[in-house]
Structure 1
Amino acid sequence: MITRLGWGVLAASAVLYAGGAALGYPEPGVLAVAGLLAVAAAALWTLPRPRLEVRREVAPLRVARGEAAVAVLHVTNEGRARSGLRAGDRFGSRVIDVEVPRLPRRAARSVTYRLPTDRRGEIPVGPLTLERSDPLGLSRRTTSYGAAETLVVRPRTVPLPLLPSGRAHHLDGTSADNAPAGTVTFHTLREYVLGDDLRHVHWKSSARTGTLMVRQLVDATLPTTAVVLDLRPVAYDGDEAFELAVDAAASVAVAAARQNFPVRLLAAADTLLETKGGPADAEAILDRLALVAPAPGVSAMDVARRVAAGGALVVVSGPAADPADLLPARRRFDRVVCVRAGSAHRSPALPGVTVLDVPDLETLSAAWTRETR
């Protein structure tokens, strides 16, 4: 590909040739021919395409914001020997410079470099681009190698205790429907299968039917944690406060999901995700929150008014949020919590609403444990 400088040389050569021919001077014509030959030589210089095979690995493919991630390029030279190459590997909208060492014919080299993980999102990594230009900068050829991989940068989280919610819970442990033998409320009788707790055997029914029968128990008051994330830029004091809000929402939702409780995740007027709880759902929550971005719209307080009643309600917003707007929700939920991300000032206590002012993620765990007991 001819560069702007190359096109300029071609244009100047044409002007010189035409001017020299019109005025009868041979010197401009000689300069014009020299310019044309220089551009032609530059194009031939950049014409050969290096024969490289590139394979890329990204580890890990999913990472929390700010944690380490690396890319490994395995480069094999299938053509003639080459000195060190300077290439660029695409990372989203950026290009990361990569130095490839000398490659003899049929030789392979591996190059490792760190990936920036300061921003959330699904970020394509690759392809590797090799730019070859002539010494005068008249022609340039860019070639791409290797398939792209995708790095998912997810929110940071901190461990949080489960938010107490619901009116009746099993005293011996989890009250999730996916518990091996159910929980507290009788649901039905079923045949015994290997691994069932013998304490749940219903002996009268077993004697009457001649088949070992067990009681299947469920929890009729399984609490749901509804997490509402405010996406409006006006609610936050800059991008860092918004990122802190996303981290806080992820921490709350993941804590509930990992303990097998249902989670409803909402932002603006949309339901981002609705899960039944479990480790796989916790991963799905992190993947979904990796993609959220600031957007104008309704406030989190307005969204909270339309959330189905029951369980716990956690609203995550910025310093501009007024927790008093959540007072009408007290009668519809067992627990109501307002997390104000980026706020360093302690808000006054409100009856029935727990307000957490969180200046950074490190203080969230202690404040959550202290205020939600």
Structure 2
Amino acid sequence: MSEAVGRRFGGLRLMPSRLGSYAAPAWARVQPIAASIRSGVRSVVERSAPVRAILRSKLAIVSLAGWVCLGALAGSLGLSLLLGWRELWAAALVILALFFVAIVFVLGKDRHQVTIDLASTRVVVGERAVGRLRVSGDGREARATNIELPVGRALATFAVPHLKADEELEELFTIPTQRRGVLQLGPARSVKSDPLGLLRRERSLTEPEQLYIHPRTVALTGTSTGLLRDLDGVARQRLSNDDISFHALREYAPGDDRRHIHWKSSARSQRLMVRQFEETRRSQVAILLSSHPTEYSDPEEFELAVSVAGSIGLNALADSKTLTLMGPHRALVRHTRNQLLDGLAGVELDGRSQRFDEQAGTVAAQSPGTSLVVLVAGTGIETQHFRRAAARLPFTASCVGVRVDPKGDLGRRTAGELTVVTVPRLEDLAVALRKGVG
């Protein structure tokens, strides 16, 4: 059938189109041109990257007020040319003069050397964190300037006068530590600016440091951790031919290590007797700290939970146990006191963190050899929630729940093999973990 003749389908006449036959050759001719244009634009952008970086660094000295003034300068010049108003010419000249004056204030090389010394990079909530700022002129005279020191979200400013070649300025400062956290200190930077704040020139002088504000903890003596020791102190019944805990003597069998032959008993019984040992293992403790906002009534309750977790963790480390702390998103093995407290210093309530029972499942997956798990949560977690979380733990692990409730009473509740203690204050933790609570 000829292309000029249409087809009939259901009473409709469909005419063939020649668009496809013409579009394909046209696009084939345009495509190489478009590809070359894209390649050229990409090449120009890549080659201009160093230039753009230099311009960005140079223009960074212009403050927000400076950009506003530049916009006013451009507007005044444009309107003066358009309307011919001399007043706008005068305004443009004044703005231009202000910029020339501002440039004079920020010119010159900064010769300051700054040193930040902290008395300690780790403090407990409420303790004084004291630091010292020392500024010198690097063996030459240094002009007056301002030194800014970021401390977390706050900013401390020190006015440094003109320093002679051998002169040094020393300033003491105190950092508030009313709240647990990790603060970044620095980098300290020198700031040159004009009186109107049109230009601002900064130069970093130090490397940033971190200040850890640890949670409050209490010491748990051997007599105050009876519950934890009962749960974790169950002796294993497996016997071994080579360990450190002596169990009994038995008759020698081929293949036994001759170093374990007990010669005195062998001489008395006229048979070779070897030592048999009770298999031991190093205790592994996991602390699961809930961190979802719905599991606490207020932030102060969460702070109490963090302090409880830190106190129990320090007790485990003092007993030479392997400790795993379950944070908001993952389990972290802590080997030292500072590692534990540094990790707890940065823990925050997070709505994206796992729920209580999900965290228990993570502990079971990442630490299957755990022998004791301590579940720490707030008033948003009831006893049934503790039981559901304990059901997801390794079956070989003992479990104890700690529920912090600043408005509640000290107590202890047992649900099957799970024991849940209620702690209203940090000072009550030692009492709550004794056997006599309940």
Q: Which bin holds the TM-score, normalised by the shorter protein? A: 0.7 to 0.9
Q: CA deviation at 1:314?
A: 1.4
Structure 1 unaligned runs (5+)?
170-180, 192-199, 208-214
The structure 1 residue matched to 2:342, chosen from 275, 282, 287, is: 287
Deviations 1:177-216 (A, max 9, x none): xxxx955558x9899xxxxxxxx997759x9xxxxxxx99
- Kindly indicate whether the alpha-carbon contact (under 8 Å) linking 2:297 and 2:378 is maintained by their aligned counterparts in 1: yes
Residues 312 and 335, structure 1, Cα contact 8 Å, conserved in 2: yes
1:236 deviates by 0.7
8 Å contact 1:336–1:354 — kept in the other structure?
yes
- Residues 117-266 of structure 1 correspond to what in structure 2 (within 5 A)? 117-161=177-221, 162=225, 163-164=228-229, 165-168=232-235, 182-183=244-245, 220=280, 222-266=282-326
Distance in 2 between residues matched to 1:4 and 1:227, nearest whole Å: 49
Structure-1 residue corresponding to 2:32: none
Counterpart selection for 1:299 from 349, 352, 355: 355
Cα-Cα RMSD: 3.9
Question: Displacement of 1:315 after TM fit?
Answer: 0.6
- Of 84, 88, 113, which aligns to 1:53? 113
Q: Which residue of 2 aligns with 1:80?
A: 141
Counterpart amino acid of 2:401?
C
Cα distance change of structure 1 residues 271 and 44 upon mapping to structure 2, 3 Å threshold: same
Deviation at 1:255, TM superposition (A): 0.3
Code of the residue aligned with 1:320 in structure 2: it is G
Higher mean C-alpha displacement, 149-158 vs 312-321: 149-158
Deviation at 1:22, TM superposition (A): 5.3
The corresponding residue for 2:400 is 337
Shift of 1:92: 2.8
Change (3 A) 1:302 1:190: farther
CA deviation after TM superposition for structure 1 residue 128, in Å: 1.1
| 1:134-188 Cα shifts (integer Å, max 9, x gaps) | 223332222221122222333322111342132239xxxxxxxxxxx955558x9
1:341 to partner: Cα distance: 2.2
Alignment of structure 1 residues 108-123 onto 2, 5 Å: 108-123=168-183
Aligned residue in 2 for 1:366:
431
For residues 267-302 of structure 1, the C-alpha deviation after alignment (integer angstroms, 9 at most, x for no partner) is 4673222x6xxxx53333223333333233443345
Establish whether residue 7 from structure 1 lines up as the match of residue 64 from structure 2.
no
Q: Distance in 2 between matches of 1:185 and 1:253?
A: 31
Q: CA distance change for structure 1 residues 190 and 142 in 2, over 3 Å: closer, same or farther?
A: farther
Secondary structure class of the residue paired with 2:197 = coil
TM-score by length of 1: 0.75
Query: How far did residue 248 of structure 1 move?
Result: 1.0
- The one-letter amino acid paired with 1:364 is L
Residues 60-108 of structure 1, C-alpha deviations (whole Å, 9 max, x = no match): 122333333222222112343545x543211233322335466333312
Q: CA deviation at 1:37?
A: 1.8
* Structure with the bigger percentage of helix: 2
CA distance in 2, matches of 1:63, 1:190: 55
Quick check: 1:301–1:315 contact (8 Å CA) kept in 2? no
Deviation at 1:122, TM superposition (A): 4.0
Find the partner of 1:98 among 148, 158, 174.
158
Alignment CA distance shift 1:289-1:190 (3 Å): farther
- SS of 1:127's equivalent in the other structure is coil
Per-residue deviation, 1:40: 1.3
Task: State the alpha-carbon separation in 2 of the partners of residues 218 and 113 from structure 1.
Answer: 58
CA distance in 2, matches of 1:184, 1:94: 61
Q: Is the 8 A contact 1:358 1:364 kept in 2?
A: yes
CA distance in 2 between partners of 1:289 and 1:134 (Å):
44
Q: TM-score, normalised by structure 2?
A: 0.65
Counterpart among 410, 419, 438 of residue 354 in structure 1? 419
Deviation at 1:116, TM superposition (A): 3.0
Q: Which of 355-364 and 42-51 deviates more? A: 355-364
Q: Distance in 2 between matches of 1:265 and 1:12?
A: 58
8 Å Cα contact 1:56-1:149 kept in structure 2: no
Q: Are residues 39 and 217 of structure 1, via their aligned partners in 2, closer, same or farther at CA, if it must alter by over 3 Å?
A: farther
The answer as to whether partners of 2:146 and 2:192 remain within 8 angstroms in 1 is no
State the 1:54 CA deviation. Answer: 1.1
SS of the equivalent of 1:9 reads: helix
**1:201 & 1:73 partners in 2: Cα distance?**
68
Structure 1, 147-156 or 361-370: larger mean CA deviation: 361-370
Change (3 A) 1:336 1:107: same
Find the aligned partners of 2:302 and 2:258 in 1 and give their Cα distance. Answer: 50
Structure of higher CA gyration radius: 2
Aligned to 1:89: 149
Task: Note closer, same or farther for the CA distance 1:253–1:8 as it changes in structure 2 (3 Å cut).
Answer: closer
Q: Higher relative contact order by CA 8 Å / sep ≥ 6: 1 or 2? A: 1
**Given the superposition, is the C-alpha separation of residues 39 and 238 from structure 1 closer, same or farther in structure 2, using an over 3 Å criterion?**
same
Q: Is the 8 A contact 2:146 2:159 kept in 1?
A: yes
